[in-house]
Structure formats: structure tokens, C-alpha cells
């Protein structure tokens, strides 16, 4: 008996049947995709935990394709034997025909790979790839699986693999939460109360991430100072950091004023 993969043979909820008939799995909810994936695996006797299938968009529709683990399990399940391999080169194309047999069936499929301009290891790898493609294609065929094999995807112009996680969520569907920068407290820092600290020492002070104060923007330094000034209890470290910020902001203000005077006098 043939194990043809067809939507009618897969036990799925009635409400998603119309979606499956259209062949576009992107129309399913993540939960429905998970259930469908498991149902497909159950219907052909494959272990879903090994992820034997993955997702691909083809002609604008999301569908499944078979991975290496799928063909390996199918070969073991049905006792598929590769009985013969035939190789030939035609117009810079390496063609391999694989012949397979089970107890009740026999079948043959080809695998083709371009070898134009290849030599050495690259040529050898291409020829082995053609053999792999032929073996996997004949396995899917003799086991009645009407799916693409992963070795075929790269030769299909509009085919694109799609990442779908274990919860059935398509990668493109995941919308990262917006990152909201905290509103900065830009209340002017009192510079007239700054303690006597050298600019060199102030600029070596670092924040919790190890960034030197000299490399931090003025607005962020202002916010840091105001945040520390509101603490109910301040340590000596807080006082030192606040003094460093005052010293740096004073130096930046003095430099800005000098630049303005230079422009006016130019």
C-alpha cells in the first residue's frame, strides 16, 4: 500500500481543512501549525522530535519540505534499498540516476548538479551532491511522499526557507517589543557647587558598564547626576561620581564658551 502524503489522509481539525486544501500553511495559527506538523509526522510514521520536515515558501505559499532525517527514517521504515547508481555528464551537468527497491515496489529518480568550471575537490563534491540528491529523491518517491527534498531548494529561484520555531511561530511574525529609552532628566546640574576634582581624574570615572565618563554624552551625564541626587541615601561613591560629572560638564561648558568667543572674534 502506498503512503501518499495528502491532506485528506491527515487527521486535522475541520476548521483548518479549507486552509490545507489551498496549500498555504502561513494561513494557520501557530498552534494549528504545530498540530498539523505532528499530524503529518504521525501519518507517515516519522518522529516529530527530530524535525524531519522544515518550512519553505514556494509560489507565495508556505509548505513543508523533507530534510535528511526524513529520508533516513523513511528508508528504514520501508526497508528501502538503493540497488544501483548510474552516472553521466551531459553539457556540464552531472546526472546521477538512483534505483531503489522495497519488498513490493521499485522506482528510480535522478539528481542533477552543474559542474561547469569545477575541478578537484569542488568537482568531487558536486558529483557526490548529485548522488545524494538522487538517493533522497528516489526515497521520497518510492515511499509516496510528494514533498521537495532540501537538496532541491537551492535550484528553485523563488524558493525560500522559512524559520518556524517549535511553537509554530513564523520568524517574520515575531514582532520584537519596542525598546523605550528612559526619559532623561535634563534638569541643569549645579556647577557652582562642584568640588575640586581634576578633569583628568573625573574623566577616568566609569559607569556600571565600564564606560568612561569622558565618553558619555552630556545629556546622559546630566540624567545620571540628577538620578543620584534624588537618592535617599548617598554613598561616598555617589558623591565622587556626582563630583566627576560636575567637573566634566563644567569643562565642556567652558570649552563651548571659548569656541563661541573664538568665532565672534574671527
Mean pLDDT of 201-225: 88
pLDDT in tens, 39-51: 889 988 999 999 9
Residue 149 lies in a domain: yes
pLDDT tens-place string over residues 156-196: 877 888 888 888 888 755 444 444 455 777 888 888 776 77
Q: Is residue 260 part of a domain?
A: no
- Strand-pair partners of 101: 81, 106
Same domain flag for 217 and 106: no
Please give the Cα distance from 45 to 143 (Å, whole number).
Answer: 11
Distance CA 137, CA 134 (A): 5
**Element of type H or E holding 54:** strand 53-58
* Whether 107 and 236 share a structural domain: no
Q: What is the pLDDT of residue 169?
A: 86
DSSP 8-state secondary structure symbol assigned to residue 196: -
Residue entry with cell 555617589: 238
Domain housing 102: 81-129
Report percent pLDDT > 70 for the chain: 87
Please count the structural domains in the chain. Answer: 3
Residue of 132, 247, 140 lying closest to 196 (CA atoms): 247
Residue 103 lies in a domain: yes
State the chain's mean pLDDT as an integer: 84
Examine the domain organization and report whether 114 and 219 are in the same domain.
no
* pLDDT given for residue 159 in this prediction: 82
Is 212 found in the same domain as 95?
A: no
Across 9-23, 50-64, 93-107, least confident range = 9-23
pLDDT band at 29 (very low <50, low <70, confident <90, very high): confident
Give the pLDDT band of residue 6 (cuts 50, 70, 90): very low
DSSP string across 22-52: HT-GGGS-HHHHHHHHHHHHHHHT--GGG--
36 found inside a domain: yes
Percent of the chain at pLDDT > 90 equals 37
72 and 150 housed in the same domain = yes
Least confident among 57-71, 98-112, 190-204, 239-253: 190-204
Amino acid at each position: 500500500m502506498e503512503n501518499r502524503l495528502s491532506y485528506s489522509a491527515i487527521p486535522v481539525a475541520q476548521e483548518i481543512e479549507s486552509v490545507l486544501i489551498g496549500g498555504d500553511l502561513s494561513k494557520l495559527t501557530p498552534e494549528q501549525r504545530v498540530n498539523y506538523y505532528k499530524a503529518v509526522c504521525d501519518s507517515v510514521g516519522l518522529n516529530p522530535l527530530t524535525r524531519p520536515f522544515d518550512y519553505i515558501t514556494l509560489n507565495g505559499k508556505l509548505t513543508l519540505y523533507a530534510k535528511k532525517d526524513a529520508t533516513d527514517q523513511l528508508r528504514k521504515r520501508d526497508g528501502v534499498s538503493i540497488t544501483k547508481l548510474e552516472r553521466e555528464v551531459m553539457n556540464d551537468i552531472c546526472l546521477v540516476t538512483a534505483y531503489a527497491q522495497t519488498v513490493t515496489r521499485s522506482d528510480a529518480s535522478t539528481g542533477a548538479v552543474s559542474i561547469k568550471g569545477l575541478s578537484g575537490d569542488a568537482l568531487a563534491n558536486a558529483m557526490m551532491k548529485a548522488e545524494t540528491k538522487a538517493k533522497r529523491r528516489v526515497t521520497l518517491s518510492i515511499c509516496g511522499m510528494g514533498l521537495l527534498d532540501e537538496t532541491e531548494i537551492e535550484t528553485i529561484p523563488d524558493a525560500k526557507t522559512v524559520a518556524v520555531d517549535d511553537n509554530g511561530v513564523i520568524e517574520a511574525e515575531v514582532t520584537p517589543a519596542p525598546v523605550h529609552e528612559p526619559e532623561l532628566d535634563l534638569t541643569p546640574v549645579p556647577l557652582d557647587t562642584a568640588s575640586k576634582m581634576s578633569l583628568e581624574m573625573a574623566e577616568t570615572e566609569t559607569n556600571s558598564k565600564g564606560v568612561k565618563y569622558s565618553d558619555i554624552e552630556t545629556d546622559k551625564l546630566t540624567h545620571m547626576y540628577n538620578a543620584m541626587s534624588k537618592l535617599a541615601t548617598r554613598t561616598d561613591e555617589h558623591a565622587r561620581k556626582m563630583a566627576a560629572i560636575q567637573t566634566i560638564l563644567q569643562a565642556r561648558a567652558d570649552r563651548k564658551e571659548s569656541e563661541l568667543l573664538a568665532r565672534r572674534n574671527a
